[in-house]
Amino acid sequence: MVRVAVGLSGGVDSTLAILLLKEQGYDVVGLSMSFYNPDIPNMKESVNSCYGPKEKTDYKQAQIWAKKEGIETVILDCSNEYKQIVLKYFKEAYLEGVTPNPCIKCNAEMKFGLLLEKAQKEGVQFDYFATGHYARVYEKEGRYILAKGKDEKKDQSYFLYRLTQDQLSKVLFPLGDYLKEDVRKMALERNLPVAEKKDSQDFYSGDYTDLLEQAPKKGVIRHIKGTVLGEHQGFFNYTIGQRKGLGIAYPVPLYVVELDAENNEVIVAEKEATFQKSCVAKEVVWGGVLLFDTVEMPVQAKYRSAGKCVPATLKVKSKDEIEVVFDEPQSALTKGQSVVCYNLEGEVICGGIITA
């Protein structure tokens, strides 16, 4: 019998995913990754997020339910590794003036990497790994394709684009062909105790500056043309595209367009300055192809997790670097975030981290 390890967070998606696989005849085991670290000074309690003290309660409830269903569960302590891999990356990126996406880092290196390695070292045997992500994976022309889930609103392929071919070859996404409303309905029909539990909204729902552990550092807010308009208590308290909370008076709304980490300055400008026609991305991960022979091709591009795909042209500079030129200028393209390119069928072509 094929054995599948399922990432079990205690939410409705992962709980239904493991139950559906069991119903389909797979031998299943739940894997929970404990990564909350309570030693961050002054960190506010997270509510409705994946990183926070509530994970103990979620995992305990998941274990109680799984035991009733005859499903084995294993909780693996990954808190030190999470601190070194995800939180360190998050902190260092912000302090360099770029805006990271910790969920993408966590998926590629923790959930689909370290967690599975630890489980195997602990003697947990499995043939595939499954999660409750809204995405699809399948083989096509000798490569494994990551594609959007059926539910366009809940699609999570953007967060998974850095999975390697080896990782994708051993992954199952049981919810990829369902709408969220279908998942809720199926969970209620099966009397799952988490059927109506709210989804996590972010990796950390408190003030992200708690994770930076930085004392206030006075600097200036400068207009892009050079005029000093005000002061701030640290450039790391701001994000690209931010309009509210600047604390400065000006005839028209101003937006953050640059974070100057070296000089501790926040650069602002009028809305039109937030738009760019293109972006460059490096550390590229290729999906359905290894590298295009063609230099340019039309794509649908997504450059923020909450945004929509927009028409663009993919220009391949090298295996590790791409340029994405948008049909229409886009607002708040942010260094450190990812841009992911899809074809019209919703298949991931490639993605990379925005550097310019």
The pLDDT of residue 256 is 97
In this prediction, residue 46 has a pLDDT band, given cuts at 50, 70 and 90, of low
SS (H, E, C) the chain: CCEEEEECCCCHHHHHHHHHHHHCCCEEEEEEEECCCCCCCCCCCCCCECCCCCHHHHHHHHHHHHHHCCCEEEEEECHHHHHHHHHHHHHHHHHCCCCCCHHHHHHHHHHHHHHHHHHHHCCCCCCEEECCCCEEEEEECCEEEEEECCCCCCCCHHHHCCCCHHHHCCEECCCCCCCHHHHHHHHHHCCCCCCCCCCCCECCCCCHHHHCCCCCCCEEEEECCCCEEEEECCHHHCCCCCCCCCCCCCCCCCEEEEEECCCCEEEEECHHHHEEEEEEEEEEEECCCCCCCCCEEEEEEECCCCCCCEEEEEEEEECCEEEEEEEEEEECCCCCCEEEEECCCCEEEEEEEECC
In this prediction, residue 63 has a pLDDT band, given cuts at 50, 70 and 90, of very high
In this prediction, residue 354 has a pLDDT band, given cuts at 50, 70 and 90, of very high
The pLDDT of residue 239 is 93
In this prediction, residue 213 has a pLDDT band, given cuts at 50, 70 and 90, of confident
- In order of their start, the domains of the chain are 3-189 (3.40.50.620), 215-269 (2.30.30.280), 274-354 (2.40.30.10)
Q: Write out pLDDT tens, residues 15-26.
A: 999 999 999 999
